[in-house]
Amino acid sequence: MKKIMEYIKKIMFFFIISWLLLFIFLPNIIIIIISFLKKDNYNLILFKFSFNNYLKLLNFLYIKVFINSLFISFITTIICLLIGYPFAWCLTEISAKKRSLMLFFLFLPFWVNSLIRIYCLKIFLGINGWLNYILLYFKIIHNPIHIIYTPTAVILGLIYILLPFMIVPIYSSIEKLDKFYIEAAKDLGAPLWKIFFYIIIPLTIPGIIAGCLLVFLPSMGLFYISDLMGGSKNLLIGNIIKNQFLNIRDWPLGAATSTIITLLTGFFLILYFKIIKFLNKKEFQNNV
């Protein structure tokens, strides 16, 4: 029986390594190689080594889009954190039955394609949509609000899609939180705001960082949200990559842009693991 289990483990290990090599490592290597080649009008790629694609990204237009993407992603992450943290905390405070129901409703939208959900949100926020209808009905506003095709609409779309990715890791961190620290702080007379900022927040930082990464990084690449909610005036990095590959047909430049995003993602992931390692080391020293 042990030999069979070892054999199964070896097969699974081989399968996982093969999957990573074929569908993650190899495609990224191909993209990196293409980023150093030249555009060809007939064959898409000309096999001549060049750094021009990365130099083109220093153009003011691309830098402006990159800064705009970082700004929109940052605002989206902050709002998701401000909404997601209290929501995750409330999940841990309710009964197990209600918690299961709330988690069910949290993941229920994932049963529907995100593109369809964005179309529905676009209709809801439109000039003749339900939002303006409700606000006009209660006389909160006198003229319809123009939200669609603005940066606000893009941020709302990103929040709508990515909020669960912020809630889940924070909920996991809060659920594992040892309530003994909170009770001890209360017994010592610490006010609630000190308990929150000096005990709860530091102990749930891994979940906060994980949630921020899961929101910040994908938000720069969700080009269809920017296309539908923001129009052509509110581009993200994902829109640049999509346009280079599908519309302009400049694969090397699109690959160079994708490589930059991949490196940025890798940098944030390394930073995340460094912070987690530092926090674990600090907690171990405090326990000793």
Indicate the pLDDT class of residue 164, thresholds 50, 70 and 90: very high
Residues 6+ apart with CB under 8 A from 204: 170, 173, 174, 177
Reply yes or no on whether the pLDDT at 110 is more than 70: yes
Q: Is residue 34 part of a domain?
A: no
Residue 147: which domain range? Answer: 57-287
Percent of the chain topping pLDDT 90: 38
d(CA 133, CA 124): 9
Indicate the pLDDT class of residue 211, thresholds 50, 70 and 90: very high
Q: Are 72 and 158 in contact (CB under 8 A)?
A: yes
Indicate the pLDDT class of residue 283, thresholds 50, 70 and 90: low
Q: Is residue 90 part of a domain?
A: yes
Q: What's the whole-model pTM score?
A: 0.88
Residue 1's pLDDT is 67
Q: Is residue 46 part of a domain?
A: no
Angle of CA points 120, 165, 265, to nearest 5°: 110
Indicate the pLDDT class of residue 208, thresholds 50, 70 and 90: very high
Question: pLDDT tens digits, residue range 137-150?
Answer: 888 888 888 889 89
Residue 285's pLDDT is 54
Indicate the pLDDT class of residue 282, thresholds 50, 70 and 90: low
List C-alpha distances in Å: 116 to 55, 61, 120, 185, 228. 38, 31, 6, 48, 11
Instruction: Calculate mean pLDDT across residues 86-112.
Output: 89
Q: Is residue 70 part of a domain?
A: yes
Indicate the pLDDT class of residue 221, thresholds 50, 70 and 90: confident
Percent of the chain topping pLDDT 70: 96
Reply yes or no on whether the pLDDT at 157 is more than 90: yes
More confident call, 285 vs 176: 176
Residue 7's pLDDT is 83
Residue 85's pLDDT is 94
Question: pLDDT tens digits, residue range 119-130?
Answer: 999 999 988 889
Q: Is residue 203 part of a domain?
A: yes
Q: Is residue 158 part of a domain?
A: yes
d(CA 215, CA 237): 15
Q: Is residue 28 part of a domain?
A: no
Residue type, 23: F
Q: Which residue in 209, 243, 212 sits closest to 65, CA to CA?
A: 243
Residue 215's pLDDT is 95
Helix/strand/coil (H, E, C) string of the chain?
CHHHHHHHHHHHHHHHHHHHHHHHHHHHHHHHHHHCCEEECCCEEECCCCCHHHHHCCCHHHHHHHHHHHHHHHHHHHHHHHHHHHHHHHHHHCCHHHHHHHHHHHHHHHHCCHHHHHHHHHHHHCCCCHHHHHHHHCCCCCCCCCCCCCHHHHHHHHHHHHHHHHHHHHHHHHHCCCHHHHHHHHHCCCCHHHHHHHHHHHHCHHHHHHHHHHHHHHHCCCHHHHHHHHHHHCCCHHHHHHHHHHHCCCHHHHHHHHHHHHHHHHHHHHHHHHHHHHHHHHHHHHHC
CATH number at residue 192: 1.10.3720.10
Q: Is residue 13 part of a domain?
A: no
Residue 90 token pair: 């409330």
How many separate domains does the chain show? 1
Question: pLDDT tens digits, residue range 247-266?
Answer: 888 999 999 999 999 898 88
